[in-house]
Structure 1
Amino acid sequence: MNAATQKSVFALSNPPGLYDPAPNGYSHLAVIEPGARWIVVAGQGGETADGALDPDFRRQVRQAMRNLLTALEAGGARGRDVVKLTVLIVDHSHERLRVFGEELAAAFGADHRPTCTLIPVPRLALDGMLFEIEAIAAVAP
């Protein structure tokens, strides 16, 4: 089965009684079917393959999303297979949240909103690193 016709093995939803997180680009709940194959991707930053790190926040987010998609593809998944994200942002602000949301929609599609936890942090592993994203995806076995 190719990636375009792959059957989803999870459902994303927002249960009644919880606020609507769609404007912030995520869902509250992911239910994964039994027997799904899981792909776990370590935190991806905005560095290029040669280790260069652009000082611009948006360009780091865009590169980190490219890195995440590359890792997912190597594991047999796509952005639309992601069920859970953990995002770390240095000097978090509403502007940085907006940038992340725009880049996430560009990478995954505006209608795919995986569950997500965003954690503001004072710094990350590398000097100048402003953004890191890790993911869990689920695909049919």
Structure 2
Amino acid sequence: MHSEHTSNISTSTVTLSNPAGLYDPAPNGYSHVAVVQLPARLVHIAGQGGEDAQGRLSPVFEDQVVQALANLQRALASVDAGLADVARVRVLVVDHDDRRLELLARQMRAYWGDAGAPTCTLIPVSRLALEGMLFEIEAEAYTR
């Protein structure tokens, strides 16, 4: 049964919500709707993979997810933004399956926590830009 309650989480610029009548996406680490209050500064973060500063990639999917999310945080911080400013992410997953979805959802919940995760589109792919790359995340953030 669907909840008749709409949940809202808001920063000064981005309001995330999950309308009544839609399933609860929180266990999967995202929200259904993001509303951005304009005027705002729009920040596009290119796809961040699981490589460290030396370009090394772990062969472990979850390690790459953790590193990519840390890389996303670094990119946001470089322009005085943070995870709470992110309205939308797109994730690309090589060899997507239920296990990888669960690992990704757990990390998304851990990184965004009670702030609520942004809207998300997951795109399964057969390969990414670098050999051995298993995960990539790009983001759109809005700040004042």
TM-score by length of structure 2 reads: 0.88
Distance 1:107 1:38 in 2: 21
**Selected match of 2:91 from 59, 73, 87:** 87
Corresponding pairs, count: 134
RMSD of aligned residue pairs (Cα, Å):
1.3
Q: SS of the residue aligned with 2:116?
A: coil
Amino acid at match of 1:76: D
**Selected match of 1:51 from 43, 49, 55:** 55
Distance 2:113 2:23 in 1: 22
Identity across aligned pairs (percent)? 54
Amino acid at match of 2:113: G
Deviation at 1:111, TM superposition (A): 4.1
Deviation at 1:110, TM superposition (A): 4.4
1:124 aligns with 2:131: no
Distance 1:19 1:108 in 2: 19
**Selected match of 2:139 from 131, 135, 140:** 135
Give the structure 2 partner of residue 103 of structure 1.
Answer: 107
Superposition misfits of 4+ residues, deviation over 6 angstroms: none
Q: Structure 1 pair 22/106, CA: closer, same or farther in 2 (3 Å)?
A: closer
Deviation at 1:16, TM superposition (A): 2.9
Post-superposition Cα deviations, 1:21-74, rounded to whole Å, max 9, x if no partner, equal: 122111111111111111110000000111111101011101001100000001
Distance 2:18 2:114 in 1: 16
Give the structure 1 partner of residue 6 of structure 2.
Answer: none
Alignment gaps of 5+ in structure 2: 1-10
TM-score by length of structure 1 reads: 0.89
Amino acid at match of 1:31: V
Alignment gaps of 5+ in structure 1: 1-6
Distance 1:111 1:74 in 2: 21
Distance 1:23 1:54 in 2: 26
Amino acid at match of 2:141: A
Give the structure 1 partner of residue 15 of structure 2.
Answer: 11
Deviation at 1:131, TM superposition (A): 0.2
Q: Structure 1 pair 111/95, CA: closer, same or farther in 2 (3 Å)?
A: farther
Distance 2:111 2:19 in 1: 25
